Amino acid sequence: MWVSPYNYAQNNPILRIDPDGALDFVQSGNGSIYWDKNANSQATTKAGETYLGTNLTFTFTSNIDAKLWDGPMGSFPAGDKLISTVNVTGNEDKAGNLTSIDVKSGEPNIKATGGIFQGVGSFPGETNTSVDKKGMTSGTATYEQHAMVNGFEAMGLGLMNYDVVNVAQKLTIGLSGNNLSVSAATDIFPSANLSVNGKQLFNYSQPSFQATHGRNTSTVVGDSGTGTSTMSITTPRRPDPSFINRYKK
């Protein structure tokens, strides 16, 4: 084999040298992420695996897909709705062994509808959770963020017989030994994708807006005591806010 303990730096000490001693995370062929004390570039990463680096940036994007959107106002509502980032940094000892990780979330980027009406970073009854853990040696760290249209747009949707969207993101990072676990979840709508250092981990396509966020209107006929009366009853189709798993490694 051309790579062995007797073949230093793959016969290329200039290109293969690691000037700061940093050893890094890689992604295996099955998608899992782990710390490889022998990898500090794609060239020193095992065949079939992807070099990621010491610092990982997870980018979670929720967006309304114009091609799948069947709600009101044409393509105006389409586009990115919420972009979140969670950063993971590996800490190592002098021998290159992973000792802990630092996990920190950035400020969520909540987008305006059509670039005009700014959304809000909350949803009734739901809680946002940021992440800031230094020196995590094991266990998990969870980031959660919700967003929705502002009150003006919510009122407009209501008048058109639609419920507002819970733009929900949950990302859980875990560490066990050298292995990093990643799980991600969203609510039923809209589309979403997750990437790490630009490499896509999952892509979820939204369902019908009308089918999931429209309202059913029915007419009830009854006796009011003075004669027959009718009443219109509107019921929402949107399920209660919840998280649905989209990715787990």
User: Whose structure tokens read 């639609």?
Assistant: 162
Query: What is the pLDDT at residue 160?
Result: 93
Query: What is the pLDDT at residue 113?
Result: 94
Each residue's pLDDT tens digit, 21-72: 567 999 999 999 999 999 999 999 999 999 999 999 999 999 999 999 999 9
Q: In the predicted model, is pLDDT for residue 1 greater than 60? A: no
Contact assessment for residue 193 and residue 83, using Cβ atoms and an 8 Å cutoff: no
β partners of residue 214 = 162
Q: Is 231 exposed, middle or buried (0-12, 13-18, 19+ CB in 10 A)?
A: exposed
Ranges of each domain in the chain: 54-210+242-248
Closest among 64, 58, 245, 59 to 148, alpha carbons compared: 64
DSSP alpha helices (H): ranges in the chain? 13-16, 151-159, 209-213
What are residue 51's phi and psi, to 5 degrees? -75, 130
**Euclidean distance between CA atoms 49 and 35, whole angstroms:** 12
Find out whether the peptide bond into 77 is cis, omega within 30 degrees of 0.
no
- Identify the helix (H) or strand (E) that includes residue 193: strand 191-196
Query: What is the pLDDT at residue 23?
Result: 75
Of 231 and 159, the structure prediction assigns the larger pLDDT to 159
Question: Beta strand pairing status for 112-113 and 167-176?
Answer: unpaired
Percentage above 70 pLDDT, the chain: 84
User: Whose structure tokens read 């790579």?
Assistant: 3
Question: How large is the average pLDDT for residues 212-216?
Answer: 90
Contact assessment for residue 119 and residue 150, using Cβ atoms and an 8 Å cutoff: yes
Question: How large is the average pLDDT for residues 230-240?
Answer: 75
3-state secondary structure of 4: coil
Closest among 23, 52, 35 to 180, alpha carbons compared: 35
Percentage above 90 pLDDT, the chain: 80
Q: In the predicted model, is pLDDT for residue 4 greater than 50? A: no
**Euclidean distance between CA atoms 98 and 35, whole angstroms:** 7
How many Cα atoms within 13 Å fall on the side-chain side of residue 56? 31
Chain-centre distance for alpha carbon 25? 20
Query: What is the pLDDT at residue 6?
Result: 43
Q: In the predicted model, is pLDDT for residue 128 greater than 50? A: yes
DSSP letters along 74-129, please?
A: TTTT-EEEEEEEEEEEEEE-TTS-EEEEEEEE---EEPEETTTEE-BS--TT---B
For residue 129, what pLDDT band results from cuts at 50, 70 and 90? Answer: very high
Query: What is the pLDDT at residue 29?
Result: 93
Q: In the predicted model, is pLDDT for residue 218 greater than 90? A: no
